[in-house]
Structure 1
Amino acid sequence: MLARPRIEGLGLALLVAVVDRIVKAVMVGPLMLRDIGVIDLLPFFDLRYAENYGVSFGMFTATSMEMRYGLIIVTALIALGVTVWMLRETLRGDILALGLVLGGALGNIYDRLTLGYVIDYADLHIGGWRPFAIFNLADVAITFGVLILLARSFKSREKPNDSGDHTATENA
């Protein structure tokens, strides 16, 4: 049976993937962002439709069906690795961070499987300078999950006791 923090981590992953899907559906549906192109919201933030055929920052663009399927396989294997890590992890904070990463990965994998690309829409900028590529909620979840894991890795971990109980019990 899964310990409660692991269930929470898997639940968080599912929540992130579902909310990501809903937001993307709103962007291309009611907001018609695909047709409009750009909606100016704030001086530093726009909704800007983009189809990402690559991975982070448009790297490794899949220009053929073979590359597209290869990218799907690689990202699915990474998501599987994150899932295994989550199921073996004992610290609740790390489990939840992994849930963010997994949920974001699943959201983007869904796009790749159904569309052949990932829908991006969030555009942070300062005037004409764009320090980030256009991104989506799934990307935000992945980024925050990784940052949390990195920050927590600097925190010293206590060695588990030898009682054999290695279930996730941490509250932070």
Structure 2
Amino acid sequence: MDPDRPDPAGSPSRRRLLLLFALVALAAYVADQLSKWWAVERLQGRPDIAVVGDVLQLHFVRNPGAAFSTGRGLTPVITCVAIVATVVVLVVARRIGTRLWAIALGLLLAGITGNLTDRLLREPGPFRGHVIDMIQLPNWPVFNIADIAINVAAGLIVLQALRGIRLDGTRDGDESPAPEGPEGPEEPGPAVATPTTEPGGTP
């Protein structure tokens, strides 16, 4: 099956795409929340864990800002934006027409809601909660699985845009389908000669 072939709305294929979207979102969201729970239990107040020497370490941070520690001090605003973004993704997802778009929007939803959950439920309070980050690379802000999901989603969305594949699976420049009658597309029939009338004669 072509991953970029559009499926008609309401078809079993379209329902499978929506299921893929939901499963990707759920899997990434659960992975993010479990990693944050583990970080709070095993990293908070303890020395960093070197996974790959100095290249990849686990370092506990409570981040009041947005992805990659940006926007500190704007937590309530970021929380409201995340709520709106969640609703937009859920509405737009109803038009998914390819597997790549299903995966991209599933990861995007997981990333947004993963960090949104922290902002709503964690200290110091609703809409002001700090996001748990724990993945550290050299010369890079500490981040989490939700941040990874958001950036992978952004990459897939850019890829689809560069390939000219719209959300519903159609491509830029596609022509509108031919109009269909009750029994399918209309096709030209055989040419029929039109009788002519000679002067003074009969048709």
Q: TM-score range by the shorter chain?
A: 0.7 to 0.9
TM-score by length of 1: 0.80
AA aligned to 1:36 is: R
Counterparts of 1:112 and 1:151 in 2: how far apart (Å)? 30
Can you give the 5+ residue segments of structure 1 that lack an aligned partner in the other structure? 165-172
Q: Max radius of gyration: which structure?
A: 2
Does residue 145 of structure 2 align to residue 133 of structure 1?
Answer: no
Which piece of structure 1 moves more, 36-45 or 19-28?
Answer: 36-45
Partner of 1:58: 69
Structure 2: distance between partners of 1:24 and 1:59: 19
Deviations 1:23-54 (A, max 9, x none): 1111111xx21111411222201000111101
User: What one-letter code is carried by the residue in structure 2 that aligns with 1:122?
Assistant: I
- 2:137 corresponds, among 124, 136, 151, to 124
Superposed structure 1 runs of 4+ greater than 6 Å apart: none
**Mapping for residues 60-75 of structure 1, pairs under 5 Å:** 60-62=71-73, 67-75=74-82
Secondary structure of 1:3's partner?
helix
1:103 to 107, 110, 118: 110
Post-superposition Cα deviations, 1:73-109, rounded to whole Å, max 9, x if no partner, equal 1111112112222222222211211100101111111
Structure 1, 91-100 or 116-125: larger mean CA deviation: 91-100
Change (3 A) 1:87 1:58: same
Q: Which runs of 5+ in 2 are unaligned?
A: 1-9, 123-128, 166-170, 180-203
Percentage of matched positions with identical amino acids: 26
Which has a greater percent of helix? 1
TM-score normalised to the size of structure 2?
0.69
Aligned-pair RMSD on alpha carbons? 2.0
Q: Which residue of 1 aligns with 2:19?
A: 7
**2:17–2:96 contact (8 Å) kept in structure 1:** no
The count of residues paired between Structure 1 and Structure 2 equals 153
- RCO higher in 1 or 2 (8 Å CA, sep ≥ 6)? 1
